[in-house]
Structure formats: structure tokens, C-alpha cells
Structure 1
Amino acid sequence: MLASASTGLMNSVLEKLSSLMADESTKLVGVHKQLRFLHHELSSMRGALEDVADMEDLTNETKVWRNEVTELAYDTEDCIDDFRHRVESPHDGQGLMCRAARLLKTLMARYQISRKIEELRTRVQEASDRRTRYRLGECLSRSAHVSVDPRITALYAETSSLVGIDAPKEEVIKLLTKVDDASPQELRVVSIVGFGGLGKTTLANEVYRNLRLSFSCKAIISVSQRPDMMSLLNSLFSKVSGQGANHANDLQGLIDNLREYLQGKRYFLVVDDLWDASAWEIIKCAFPESHCGSRVLTTTRIERVAVASCNYQLKFVYRMKPLGDHHSRQLFLRRVFGSADTCPEPFEGLQEKILQKCGGLPLAIITIASLLASQPTRSIEQWKFVLNSLRHNLGLDPTLEGMRQTLNLSYTHLPHPLKACILYIGMYPEDYEIQRDDLVVQCVAEGFISGVDGREAVEVAGSYLNELVNRSMIIQHVKYGARGDRIIYRVHDMVLDLILSKSTEENFLCAVENLQAISTRQRQYKARRLSLQFQDRSLVESAGRISLPHVRSLIIFGWPHGSLELLELKFIRALYIERATNELDLTLISKLFQLRCLCVRGNYKRLQLPEEIIGLQHLEAVIILSDLSNVPRDIVSLPALLYLQFPPAASYPIGIGNMKCLHTLRSF
């Protein structure tokens, strides 16, 4: 895991160690001395981890040391949290037997923490001895309130008309609309093909905006590398019909319903980001040959997929080309200087060399320009450093590795907390629309972000996400609705590739598609953040009980069970569930004493929470977007609850207006 996330972790561990040293319950032989040693060594290691975070091309030994120290910090915090919970949790009864039981429990907890601290001291000593092998540089981090740069909005709004997209747009429209030897009323499929980062999705969206009013049914869907066909086609049905999700029980039934709805209608559909011809073979079954002049536009990186989607008619394949010199310059200058007219003379030569390395790839140009624009001051040395860091001409060698190196340059220059936030996005599936509020409360629950200068952590988190938007690392959209506007985030799949690569390298998170894979990964390292993305539910239903005591964040998509009994959780802080079964029983969460964030999305016939959750003393955010069978009556007594979102029909318990910490109360 990167030092960016470790910084917040280390701060938390050191605070808890200080508190424990001042506590009467730790006054056992040798323990206080061990705690002082841990505090001193971990304080020193915190600075070293921050230095490592700003270095490139680390040796394998340095990476191993960094990961080892981070695991030490996690295990130390878990040890302290467990001890505190055992000796401070409320007890029933005041009689002699009850007092004796409490004393025995406390003595046992003290004895066990003494043994664990001795083990941790040994591990810290070993890590400290190895630390002298590495020379770590110095780095600076900064924190300031940030609003979304208005030039970003203008950039994306004007790209279609001003930055080299007019000619491609007209060519694709011509392919979709021209009359040739084939009947114009027949279904026609046109495909845009090109390397990642060329702007295929941007081009397809522009074509869609220009033609959609000519069709009675229209929609855009994004497929991705591992599509969930039921979810994908359900989304398509909802978009073209304006209705809710289709309730077909299987894929064949859903396809039949789509065909029936589209039959006899003139439709225009954009199928974005196709990776496999076999996926197209399934999707196209939903498109009837209605002879109404319907059109389908696909985008893909793979030539053979493009040809297959066009029914092997090469004349309907449009091959994306990089931007020319003029348009590359316009895009770059507008992002860096706010105007596409001129570049200051001292930077002119460097700008030309940087653009040459970017090779006309819009994503590379925007990424590097955003990096330069984000710097507080502008200098020749800074631009030279960026130029020298671009190792390839991406136009001549448009490989995944080359683009990754380009994006990695922007990643390396992110302030420490922003690195943790961008990596956390890897918990979500490809092409997922991430709700801003969800991401904010998850990052705060993980401890990546804390309050600064009197501003609460959720406000600081929002500012950090704005900074990621400004740096073009994430893309922000606003969805308008009757109940208010919602901000959502998406990431380009090239950025997601970098995120997952970094996360794997640093053991930041683990994403799996079946429970059996968890056991394999757990043998290699402790998964602190786990994303379960189920498509084949039989792989879940056949699995046994899974022990996940070290997991701090858990995101589940497609959970087929009616409860979480299959998962043994202990130190979890953020729990997110979407697309589970029709009924979901979450009464077991009352035992998750470290839980800080709970988010449940989906249309459940019955969603049950515990009757009492007073034990969740750290719970900060609850987001429930589904019909709810009950609201815990003691939720008004939670001392840390800041954010609460329930469905409109939910009945809030008496006293909700007296909660002093609560600052956000919403319904969807």
C-alpha cells in the first residue's frame, strides 16, 4: 500500500499509542516501555513512508520494506482497537459475579495485548534494522481548499467543436446516414476503432448528440471488459423505454422483451467500449431488423471486434487518428493557459517537444497539460522535468505501458491524500458511475482524510476530489433529477488500468469475482480492502464460510445471499452493498464495532437493519437507497453520526432533531 494512505494510518496509530500509554489499564510489567518503543519507531517510519511516496523506480527491497511497515501499522491499530473494545464495551449487571467477570475479562485482555505488543515490537525492530539500507529523499505535501476549475467544464464542452473533432464527427455521421446500394431503412452498424486515449467515446457522444432527435428510441451503454449482460441489457431497456428495470428472470427473456419493445421503432444506440466479439453477438440479439432506418454505433480498441460488429462490412469501420499538430497545440494551451491563442515565448520550445511525445493522443495531452496547470507556479525547470519524464513518443508507440507511464507522471505528483482517494476508486467495477457522496464518506471512514483548519473531513474530501477533477484523473458529471442534482464520477479505462496496477503492486486492494479467489489472495497477503464483483452467482452459493478479520473496506456487487453470515468480519470500517438478493438481512452489522460507513443501494423487497445499533459508536455515515423495513430506534443516540440518508417513506425515531453531530439528512 502506498505511503499516501499510510500517512493517515500512521497518524491514527500514533495517537492511539499515545492514548494507550496514558491509560491505567496498560500498566503491566514491560508494556509501557514497549509502547514507547513502538511510538518512537513508527513516528520515524512515518516520515520515511512519505518520502518513498514521492520517489519513482523504487527497488524491490524498498517496496518490500514499505509494505512491511504498512502492515505493521495496520496490525498495531487492530491490536489497540480490539483491546479498547474488550475493556471499554458496556457490561450488564452490577452484582459481585458481574464485577468478577468484568475483572477477569479485563485481565485477560491485558495479558493478550501484552503478548501481541511484544510480537509487534520484534517486527518493528526487524524493519528498523533494514531501514538503514535505503536512502530516502525529502518531499513536501500541501493542503488547500480547492474548487473545480471552470476551464475543465469548458474543455469538455468545447472539445467537440474546437479541438479536431468536427471532421471525424462529420465522417461518422456520413457513414451512419449516407444512401448507398443498401436500403437506408435497413439496420446499419458503424464502428469507431482506435487505441485507448484517442477520444472514441467523446466522438461517439458528439455523434449521438447530433443525431438523437431523429430517432424515437435512443440510448448509450458502456460494455467494458467483463460485462454483466443482465445488468447491461436491463440498463438499456430502462433507457430506451423510460421505465424501470425489466423483471425478466433470465437473459433470453430480457432479450425478448427488448426486441419486442424496439420492434417497429426507429432507434439509435451507442454501444461503447466493446472488447470481445462474443459480447457483441449477445448484445446484437436485442436489436430487431425492423426496417425503420435504425442505427447502432459501436466503439472498440480492437480491429477484429469492430469488423465483426459491422457484419464484416469494412466500409462501415471508422479508424480514429491522433490529433494533428494544430489541434494538439490548441488542446494543450487551453488547458495550461486558459487560451488556445499563444504560448509564452520561454515555454514555446518545450511545449512543442512535450506535444511530440504525446503523439496526438487527447488523453495524454490533457493529462500532461493538467499536471502543468495544477502547479502553483510555472517554471522552465518544471516543464523540463515533465518532458524528461515522458520516455516514449506515444504516437509512434501507442502501447499500454507507454500511456501508463504518461498517467503515472500525474499520479506521482499528486499530494499524498489524493493518491489514496484515486486508488480507492479501484474498488468499483469498470465504467461504474461512482456517487460523489459515497466516495467522500468511504475515504473519510478509511481515515485517508481528516479535518483541516476547522473544516470537517467531508468538506476536505470534497475539495480533494475537485482537485482530482482538475487534474483530469477523474471525470465529473452532473445528473439532474426531481429530488435534486447528483454528482457522479467516472474514470477513463486507461486511468483505471493504472489504478489497478498500482493497487496490486502496493497491496492496496483486492478485487475478485468469486469467493474461492479470496482464500488464495489471503494466503499471499492480508486484504485490507476487498471488492467482490460477482457475475456467476453459483460461485458464491457453493462457497463456504470466509474469514475476513483484517478487511477494512468491503464493497459487494451481486451478493446472492440473504445475509452476510457467510463472511466473518471484525475490523471493517466501510461496507457498501449493491445488487444483492430481493431480501437482505443486515442485523449482524450491530457487532461490527469499528463500522464507520454503511451504504446499501438496490431495490430490495425487504431490507432489515438491527433493532439496536448503539454499539456502533464510530458510525459516521448511513446511506440506504432502498425500501427499508425498519429504522433502528437508537440511531439518534449514535455520537459520531454525521451523514444520514434514508428513503422518503422511512419513519425516523423520536429525537432525530436533537442529534448534535448530524449535519446532513437526506432522502432520495
Structure 2
Amino acid sequence: ILGEESSDEISSLKELSVKVHHLLYRRRYVIIVDDIWSLDAWDGVKRYIPDDGNKSRVLLTTRDENVASYVAASVSSTVIHHLGRMDKEKSWRLLEQRVFGEGACCPPELVKLGETMAEGCKGLPLAIVVIAGILSNAERTPDSWKRFAEDVNVALSKGGEQISEILSLSYHHLPHFLKPCFLYFSAFPEDHDIDASNLVKLWVAEGFLKAKEPSKLVEEIAYGCLEDLKRRNLIMATKEGYNGEIKICRIHDLLRQLCTSRAQEENFFHRAEDMMKPDILPSTTSKSQAHRISFSSHVSSRSVNLRRCSVRTALCFQHDKHLISKLLTCRLLRVLHIKAGKSWRFQSKLFELYHLRYLAFTYKRNVDFHLPEDIRNLKNLETLIANPRPLCGSSRETVILPPEFWTMKNLRHVMLYRCVVLPDPISPSLPLENLLTLSNLYNFRCKEEVVELIPNVRKIAVFYELDCQRESWYDYKLGNFGRFIHLESMRIELEEVRYRLDWCKRNPFLECLVLPQSLRRLRIDGGAARIPWEVMTNALGSLPNLESLKLWHDVCSGDVWETEEGCFENLRVLEIRCTTDLKCWITESSSHFRSLERLVLRSCGELAELPDCIGDVPTLQLIKVDDHQKAVVDWARRIGIQQRGNGNELLDIEV
């Protein structure tokens, strides 16, 4: 822009900006602004770019989606193009072009190896370019390329410091509060799928984030941070919910290398295998200062010495009883996460870890599991997660909570993945006002005193196994569920054991159940309910905030389902799975499901008539049919053809 003018003649940034504006004024131009990091940076650039209405153009790139949205809002006719990650074919084309030049082809004997390396870069152009730079200077022989293909990450590490410096900019520009959240990814094994819900709970237990507004949960802030990392392309979401919420995430290998090195440099997180090497810790760090340690599956407990360590966090991706015994001597532990395929045995030293906030472990299936009463000593515990050891076959073992459970006032999440027997409250008991999640409560009697003790619960799962000869739905006080005024997510499982149709008619499930207006997600699973379709529509269709409804395994009975105007107005996801009765679904207008985005039909064996008007729902994005029933498959395909004929290219049909 400045031509021959020397930069030495410009004494300040303001002078430069004025000069640029003067040179661009009333001229047509195309300007490329690469890597805008912040909103302020864009504002600083924009004010000196004249808009004379002469079809000039500005192309800018950013890794931050917030910046892109901000620019689009501030400049009319802005178009946002999301590049995303490259697929296998494009990755290979880029690698081939960079190594052999434009228009040249790779020798046939190297193609497969090259494709393997390109795929290993997982769609990241920067990684592909670095690999290409290495291969351009290597022998073009199968043996030479094979050495790189065996471990792409090793090859990338030989590309000099350029790539690490570029990636380091991503970390450097993170807000202060996001840096520990990003560095926490260094604790997980390579190519590990990370459960977002558990990760958020770990961040909360670590105390990284604080709620500035009383009405906002720390967990909500943590999910916002996770989304922020995704927008900055520092992590990948491999599974998302209907509302875009991240379910499963992972980190690219290259970024994991950056994350791991930074975590070690800053004494934030250390891997146990690295601590065994005398030269791996920074000179300013001793083992006694390593507060967070991750143990991979191949670390031997014999090589671990924790006597001088003041460990606060231990994430174990293996089961080694000797290692666990050593960890329990670390009296300052706040986070203990043991995820493995072996069973857990309680040790008395566990209940001396008074600072513990997060505890996750596995236990042996096929036996009833009693939580000791000494768990009350863990007064700071916020998250308790217990997973059964995976075995073949079904089992109905129970996890029995002690009465002392009601004294643990800091509990936020109790996630026990079998049948949980909740004890009767002890007197006197103060409300567990922080409790947000309770999972898999077995034959839960929703008494008034229990509701009063867990007033703020947001997510609950219950499992009922009834003997219809002795019990009634009325015995379980299901009407009191409506008093959970903050409840957002509910799962109800009903065991199909010893029920009779005449008993179901005398003891209608939904007649007993009252659900709160706050409910957003509901799944009912199991044929013991046998809810008539009409009753289900009247009872659930009026819930004003219901967004996701899943009906599994013959929950509803009857061969005709006819919807009504005004029902399910805010429903975004409808999933019907394994229903044997339903033959005809009647919906007269697309306004019956005016907010529907996803429709999933699975194993609806008798379903033959479905409403074509569903395809006209303006918000509908996906119809997914996993069914051998020809009528259902033909219906889905017909909807797809009709909508494409109407110019609707947004609706996906998956058959």
C-alpha cells in the first residue's frame, strides 16, 4: 500500500493508520487481513479502511468465531465462511502438491504411505504443510517414508520450531481464565475421547472458575469455556447434543504436544512417566512441587515415589492397587480419578482425605455395593462418580448409600451407574442445596421431605422395578416430581417384569406422575408404563420448555397416534424407538411440531402410515430412520425428494 515509502519515515502507529486511510480513499481495493485475534484489533483496523461503496473488499481470517460474528454484525453484506478441517482426499492432495509441486504426481509406491501420513494430520493444514516440508527433503523411497508414517507426531517434531511457535500464539492469546482449562487437556492420553461432563466437573473441583452471578452455575460457566476453546480451534467436538452442547471432545496431537510442554514448563500438570526421567522437569521444579500428576496405562507403581510429592490432583488411566495405596498417602488430594476395568476396594485412608472434592472409581459388578458410612468424613466432596466394571450380561445389583449421605452439604453431582438405594433422611437434616445431579435412583419414593432436602436438583434418573401384585404407581409419590422447580433433565426406566395389562389400566403411570414446567429433556424407557398415545400427548405435550422427548421400548400403547394443535410447541428432538403397537401416526399440520429439528425412528415394526407434513416443518434439519420397515424407509425418502424439489437443501435424510 505504501509503495516505496520507508517505514522509518513513519513514527507512530497512528501516523501509519492515517497514511493507509489516505492512500485507500476513493480507490478500489482488496485487502487481506490475516489472523485477527480480538474484537479490539478489528475495531482498530476497521476505522482506517474507507467504505466508499465502490465494491472494495476485505478478506480476513481468524481462529476465533466470536471475532467472525462480531465483524459480520458490524459490516453489512459480510459473509462468514467456516473452513473446518480437511477431509482425507483434500489432505492428501495438499500433501502431494507441497511435496512434488503443482501438477506433479506421487510415485505409485509412495501413495499409500503418503495418504496414511495425510490422514494422521487429522485435517489440520498446518500439520500437513510441516509434514510436506520434511518429506520434501527426505529420500523418496518407501523405507524413508515408512519411518515417518509409523509415527506422524515424531515426524512433525522434526520440523523445527516453526510450527510450535505458530501454535504457541494460540495459547499466548488465551484469556487468563482459559489457560488452565486448556492445559488440563495435557492430563489425558493421546487420542483419548474426553467426556465433556466429567471434564467440566474436574474444572469446578479444581476451582478454576467462579460464578460472578448468583443465578448462574459454575458448571454453566465451565461449559462456556469449553465452547470458547472449540471456537478457537484448540479442541475438537467429536459428539454434540441436539442443542450444540459438546458431549465428547478431544485435542489434536499437535496441540496436545503444545499443551503438554506448556503444562510442564508452568508446573501445572505432569505425566508420571516423564517424572521418572531426571531431566524432564524444569530446573525450578522439584517433585515436591508437582501438584497435578497423570498416570498412563503403562506406568509401573514400583517406579513411582510419592513420598516427597504434595499431590493435589491424580488422574489414573490404569488400575494398580499399589499405586492407589501410594496415592492415598497424599493427604492434600483434591481430585482422585481412577478410570479402569478393575474393581475398587475402599481403604480407610481414603476417608482421611479431607480436602477431596472429586472422586471417581470403578467397582465390581454382580454384587451389592455399600458405600461406607465414613464417607461423611469427606465434607468437601462435590462430585462422586462410581462406574461398574464392564462385564457381559445384565445385572441388577444395587449401590446402597448410607444415611450419612444426607450430611454431605457440598455434594453437587452423585453419578452412580447402577440401581442406587437412597436412604431415608436422618433427623435433623439440612437441605443439600448444592446437589444438582442424582442418577439411577432405584424404586425412588419421592416423598415431600426428600424433595425439601434436594430442592435445586437439575438432573435426575430413576429406575423402577415393580411387583404389580403388591405395588402401585401411587406408592411412589410420583406427583411430587412436579415440586422440583429447577429440574431440567429426567430419565425414567421401567423394568418390564411381572406386569399385566389389566394392572396397567388400573394403575396408569402418567396419571400418577407430575412433571415440572422447567423440564427440558425427558426419556422414558420400558414397557411397564404402557401409556396410551393420547394420554402421553395430553400429559407431555403441554410442558412449555420440553425440547427433547425420547420414548423407548413400548412405553406407549395403541396402534394410532394423533397429535393436536398446540402440543409440543418447543420440542426440538423426538425419538421413538422399539415400539411394536404403533401402526398409524396422524399429524394434520406442520404447526403441531413447529420447532422440531431432529426426528429419529428406530425399530417401529408395525408403523405403516406417517404424516408427509412433517417435512414442511421449517426448523427440521434431520430425519433419521434406522428401521427395516419398508413403509418408514420409503416415507423418509419421499420426504427428502419432496423437500429438495421445493428448494429445501437443509434437510438431511439418514436411512
Superposition TM-score, scaled by structure 1 size: 0.41
The answer to which structure, 1 or 2, has the higher relative contact order (CA under 8 A, 6+ apart) is 1
Greater helix share, structure number:
1
Superposition TM-score, scaled by structure 2 size: 0.42
Greater strand share, structure number:
2
Q: Name which one, 1 or 2, has greater alpha-carbon Rg.
A: 2
